[in-house]
Structure 1
Amino acid sequence: MMDFIFIYLLSMLLFIKVGLADTFNNTAWPNISSQVEYGLRSQRDIQKNITIDQLPLVGVDLQRVLFNQYLDDNSIMLYNFYNLMRQGVQSFVLEIEISENAWVVTNTSLLLLDVFSLISAFLQSTNTNLNANIMVLLLKVSQSVNMNPLHIGNSSALFLPSKSNNTNICFNSNCTSSTFQLETNNTDTSIFGDYSQTVPSNISISNLNITSLLDDSLGTFIYSPQDLETDRIKGYTWNGTGYPSSTGWPTLSTFLTRENKRILIADLSATSDYIPSDYIFNNSILHYDYGNMTLGCPNTIPQIKDVSRYSWRFLNSNFTPGDIKNYIDCGYSPIINNPFDLSNITNILPLLNSSLLWSWRFNQPSVNVPLKKHSLEAYNCAIFKYDPSNSSFYWMVDNCYEKKLGLCRFGNEQFTWLVTKSPHTYFDFDSYKGSQCPDNYEFSIPRTPLEQNALITTLKKNSFADIDIWIDLNSISVEDCWVTGGPYAACPYRKSMTRRHFARMLAPACACSFGILCIVFYLNLLRVPIHDNRINWRRKLVREANLKALNTEGVPS
């Protein structure tokens, strides 16, 4: 079975990458620029100690944007869905229904299993230290599917459709047979109410079993409610303000590295237990707004802390490239529901370009800066640029040797910031030198839009004018590898070799070579004793030969 799944996923991935070139010329997606790639990776890396429920996850409502028409060939929809994931979209809303005894995407002929399999193929292809990231899938059962919960003792919930439908639906992984039939003989059927009925023999449980579909596609990648419970018991969870909590969530580092997970699935249906599965969270974990924000946009530190106490803050709305980032700065993850279709799906790119990089300026990070002669220059350090005159703020690359103020954060307080009083070069903010920050403060960087919002609030409160501030982000050790931890932090993806390390590595070999060379030179100068007295040795040999002849017995012939 697993071999079949692997072949299926591989063939689908190859089909998307190779076989669709001629078919989809009208919906060509551009390649991701190196600046966007490095920028997205740097955002992910600085968020490694942020809990997953506080991450900014730009999303798409697939029913409004893409899966909104019935096609005989769904390859083009899968192709565009794959490219949305490739562009960096991290959360998706997917509405599903039952059609011809199988779960499908609402108002399409696209099988839910095909969607799961494509997501799995994408996660497999990006499951590396460079590219792995979290994804959130919000499933919503169509209102046309009228399902009613049925609980039998301690068993997991089974769902039965309305009377008008003759198909019983099983979500539980214990349903292993190819068909399922309620046993009513000699049994009190009052617990079934009016929904007690027999499943037709031609219905396949595997097509209607959500847990089985997830097992066959995304199983090992899914972060489940049981995984969360285990992390809470082990003390791996934190609250939104950065303190250990038995009701919190794991950090992104724990999620990706310790747990080796990639995707979290939640039920967005109106009824919290519409999709009972061991893999799926109910909608009680979400703060999901539709149309307008209910939390408002915080503009004071206490308000920012209040917003951070809400987990998984999503706003499903119609956005413009000019306002979508504002909602991200307010602490929301936008779910784009602008009406697109297959003919204009790439028109979503301006929205993605305005939202995916909430930190860097357009075309940043970049190191393509002309070097000036007779000056120290290293454009490998990041600054936070703030201009209150036009309310602009962003990160950009600057010369590490220039003297600027530095950004400091108080201990583990995510929203308490301070700017140094005197300017220094980036290299002066080395933790071994005290980092130029006051006691109990450390050189740092805003890791989320809410933290950056708190920084803006602090700068406004202290009436800062146009200012450039060093932040804890650089690519000094390896070009284009942006890391935190001060000017001497190492790149986790590529080994760097400084002159000092190179000298230490070569020192033992050079010392050994020099010793061998000295020995050879000494032996060349030193003469062997037998060669130093050749004449004496020759006389001695002649004398010994004559004595031996005299002592020979007999008469010579």
Structure 2
Amino acid sequence: MSLKFNPDDSLLNATWATVLLSERDVAGQVPINFVTTSAISLRAACFGDNKFGRTAAEKCLSNLLAVGYRRFNIDLYWSTELRQWILCPVSVPSGLHVVTVSPDVTPTATASVAQGTITAEPDDSSDELLYDLGSYKCSDRLDLQDLLAIFKDYLQYTDTDLVVYTRYLSLNLHAAADPTSANEPPSLVTSGQLPAVTEQVSYILNDRLGSYIYGPSDLLEDRRDLNTSWYAVDESYKPITEYFTVEEDPNGVQSTPDGWPSAKFIQLAADRRLLIEYGLVDPQLSEYDLFAENDVIFSPGYLTSTIPAAAADDGSLDSGCLYDPDSTDISNVNASWAISDHIPVPHNFSDESLRSISDLVVNLTACGMTSTLNNTLFNDTADENPVPYRNLTLSSSWAWALGQPAAPTSDLDSAESDDTRCAVMDLTLNGQWRTANCSETHRAACRVDNQPFRWALSSESFAYKDADDEVCPPSTEFSVPRTGLENTYLFRHLLSLSNDLIDPSSSNPLKNAIWVNFNSIDTETCWVTGGPDATCPYTADPDQLERRTVLVAAIAGIVICIIAALTLFVKCNANRRNSRRNRRVIQGWEYEGVPS
């Protein structure tokens, strides 16, 4: 039976829908290589106990998708005997048969191999048999096709503008070990044992998920002529060109040697949602042709730029942060496909260790890097206990403070409405955002020459509802940070200004916060940029957006309520506000992100 997207029911809640949707949308025009996300090793998260059960794998991957992981590092093993890409590091021998000892005895299984008999016993959480293969216990039916069945079911469930997200796969290719020497390195795969055309990873991916994949040829074709690709779509889908090099030939055709499309272009204009690269390839597969008729998978490491980062035990970064106070030039900030090399995870669970790991994820995101989890969290796989995995992926959310954006506290139809539908960066929250009454007066964040990392402050304070093209100085524009690193550059710029302009130590909210160009004036649950007159793009009927968001998110399972599950983290957040030693420090300066 084909596997499906089947997460735990406890994860299917829409409380975080607004946060995830607003952060996705604000970054929607940033080229995807500069947008951070959360990455995870499927081997560590699902098979850290060396058990490769089919039922457990379905639950584990489904849970990881449901809690919002966007990038998956996947280890595949080529079994020369089965002629399949499997997930177990050891090839399960063919010809297995079940032997029932008696009606009252659990079935066992044996398989005759060259050097003896392989035994099996039922998995504790299902009725399937797991075969003992050295230090591994493996199902004989868990392969690449199963994995893709889950992804396909998930992609079909989330095929709507409100919950669509781009996903990334990095595939590490290995040779499966022989079952008679399961703990020994596998043998070299000879040319006659290599996958045939229809057995190649690229062929299988294209066959199962081809309609969702944005591949190398798509990128090449789009780069060759921007006039007919990224520039020929709705204005809100176009990538921000300041992030990459643009060249123009004598005929006026624009191209780019290094640009990438935006998420909005891929998801909404091109109607694609998957990018895939090869990761590591074992020397035993040295003769495997990665590029034969391959139109779906990027070459090894094409979507990855690993940044070494050193962290202290409390989650603060000692080195590796891409924020550079002396440079705001995008060409000098190496943030393209930036990914942390690892997240250290203690073996034993404690409140302090959970907090420090979450703090590290927040700091990596603020520094422009995607955090990568390559360890099993506290000896629990994500099918057994998905909550710690959920905590970490939500810690990669970078904009809003915990509990934000807050809903209005009074009747919106009343003249005395609280009207908290506008966003400010609050310096007392270390650069995080919160909602504010749109009638308050604040100075504003002004982007200089449309550059990602250059900021100025408006010369005067104003009410958000009065915002227009004149509120910012010449050559600047009222704007909003679109990534964690952009947010960090704005925050650090504000801290460098005179306290007469902005004062992070002031208790007056009109002095310690600034407007960012983000509001939900048109529709309460729909946050947009573009000033007070911007409209929600998702529905012509504002009354239906919140109901639709909740319904779709609950069905899809990609937005998660963490309020009840993260009581510990709420407590920790309060502790950090009250204790300087719990503040996160990035290369000598304090920064606190969300959630934690």
TM-score where L is the length of structure 1: 0.69
Deviates more, 1:64-73 or 1:410-419: 64-73
Question: 1:279 and 2:296 equivalent?
Answer: yes
| Equivalent runs, 1:376-525 vs 2, <5 Å | 377-387=418-428, 392-431=430-469, 434=470, 436-463=471-498, 464-466=502-504, 467-496=512-541
TM superposition shift of 1:440 = 2.2
Q: Does the CA-based 8 Å contact 2:64-2:386 persist in structure 1?
A: no
Post-superposition Cα deviations, 1:113-170, rounded to whole Å, max 9, x if no partner, equal 1111211211121121111111110101136689xxxxxxxxxxxxxx9657685223
| Equivalent runs, 1:309-328 vs 2, <5 Å | 309-319=334-344, 320-328=357-365
Q: Name which of 203, 222, 230 aligns with 2:213.
A: 222
- Change beyond 3 A, Cα 1:290–1:418: closer
Deviates more, 1:100-109 or 1:409-418: 100-109
Q: Distance in 2 between matches of 1:73 and 1:106?
A: 9
- Change beyond 3 A, Cα 1:143–1:469: farther
Q: Does the CA-based 8 Å contact 2:41-2:373 persist in structure 1?
A: yes
Percent identical among aligned pairs is 26
Q: Distance in 2 between matches of 1:323 and 1:266?
A: 26
The equivalent residue for 1:52 is 32
Q: Distance in 2 between matches of 1:486 and 1:127?
A: 29
Q: Does the CA-based 8 Å contact 1:380-1:399 persist in structure 2?
A: yes
The DSSP-based 3-state class of the residue aligned with 2:398 is coil
Q: Distance in 2 between matches of 1:455 and 1:338?
A: 33
| Equivalent runs, 1:22-421 vs 2, <5 Å | 29-34=10-15, 36-69=16-49, 71=51, 73-99=53-79, 100-107=82-89, 108-109=138-139, 110-142=142-174, 168-170=193-195, 175=197, 206=198, 208-235=199-226, 236=230, 241=243, 244=246, 245-270=256-281, 275-276=290-291, 277-289=294-306, 292=309, 295-302=320-327, 305-306=330-331, 308-319=333-344, 320-340=357-377, 341-342=380-381, 343-355=384-396, 357-370=397-410, 375=416, 377-387=418-428, 392-421=430-459
Q: Distance in 2 between matches of 1:143 and 1:163?
A: 8
Q: Does the CA-based 8 Å contact 1:239-1:247 persist in structure 2?
A: no
Post-superposition Cα deviations, 1:23-50, rounded to whole Å, max 9, x if no partner, equal xxxx76433442x211111111111210
Q: Distance in 2 between matches of 1:447 and 1:458?
A: 16
- Change beyond 3 A, Cα 1:286–1:224: closer
TM superposition shift of 1:222 = 0.6
Q: Distance in 2 between matches of 1:308 and 1:404?
A: 30
The DSSP-based 3-state class of the residue aligned with 2:358 is coil
The DSSP-based 3-state class of the residue aligned with 1:60 is strand
Q: Does the CA-based 8 Å contact 1:377-1:401 persist in structure 2?
A: no
Q: Distance in 2 between matches of 1:497 and 1:257?
A: 21
TM superposition shift of 1:353 = 2.8
- Change beyond 3 A, Cα 1:145–1:238: farther
Q: Does the CA-based 8 Å contact 1:291-1:316 persist in structure 2?
A: yes
Q: Distance in 1 between matches of 2:327 and 2:36?
A: 20
The equivalent residue for 2:117 is none
TM superposition shift of 1:70 = 5.4
Instruction: From the two aligned structures, give the one with the greater strand fraction.
Output: 2
- Change beyond 3 A, Cα 1:133–1:239: same
Q: Give the letter for the 1:133 counterpart.
A: Y
- Change beyond 3 A, Cα 1:427–1:303: closer
Q: Does the CA-based 8 Å contact 1:240-1:309 persist in structure 2?
A: no
Larger Rg: 1 or 2?
A: 1
Q: Distance in 1 between matches of 2:326 and 2:530?
A: 26
Q: Distance in 1 between matches of 2:476 and 2:529?
A: 16
Post-superposition Cα deviations, 1:54-87, rounded to whole Å, max 9, x if no partner, equal 1111111111121335557412221221121121
Q: Distance in 1 between matches of 2:402 and 2:476?
A: 31
Post-superposition Cα deviations, 1:485-518, rounded to whole Å, max 9, x if no partner, equal 11111111121579xxxxxxxxxxxxxxxxxxxx
TM superposition shift of 1:291 = 6.3
Q: Give the letter for the 1:223 counterpart.
A: Y
TM superposition shift of 1:482 = 0.8
TM superposition shift of 1:477 = 0.8
Q: Give the letter for the 1:93 counterpart.
A: N
Q: Does the CA-based 8 Å contact 2:242-2:452 persist in structure 1?
A: no
- Change beyond 3 A, Cα 1:278–1:67: farther
Q: Distance in 2 between matches of 1:258 and 1:33?
A: 26
Higher relative contact order (CA 8 A, sep 6+): 2
The DSSP-based 3-state class of the residue aligned with 2:163 is coil
Q: Does the CA-based 8 Å contact 2:308-2:320 persist in structure 1?
A: no
Q: Does the CA-based 8 Å contact 2:3-2:146 persist in structure 1?
A: no
Q: Distance in 2 between matches of 1:339 and 1:73?
A: 16
Q: Give the letter for the 1:408 counterpart.
A: C
Q: Does the CA-based 8 Å contact 1:481-1:491 persist in structure 2?
A: yes
Post-superposition Cα deviations, 1:277-335, rounded to whole Å, max 9, x if no partner, equal 32111124244437636854423151673564452111141250121110111110011
The DSSP-based 3-state class of the residue aligned with 2:220 is helix
TM superposition shift of 1:351 = 1.6
Q: Give the letter for the 2:85 counterpart.
A: W
- Change beyond 3 A, Cα 1:50–1:461: same
Gaps of 5+ in 2: 90-137, 179-185, 231-238, 247-255, 311-318, 345-356, 505-511, 544-596
- Change beyond 3 A, Cα 1:348–1:297: same
Gaps of 5+ in 1: 1-7, 18-26, 147-160, 176-205, 499-557
Q: Distance in 2 between matches of 1:164 and 1:447?
A: 47
| Equivalent runs, 1:526-541 vs 2, <5 Å | none
Q: Does the CA-based 8 Å contact 1:403-1:426 persist in structure 2?
A: yes
Post-superposition Cα deviations, 1:222-267, rounded to whole Å, max 9, x if no partner, equal 1110000011012237767355333211122221122111010011
- RMSD (CA atoms): 3.0
Q: Distance in 1 between matches of 2:320 and 2:331?
A: 9
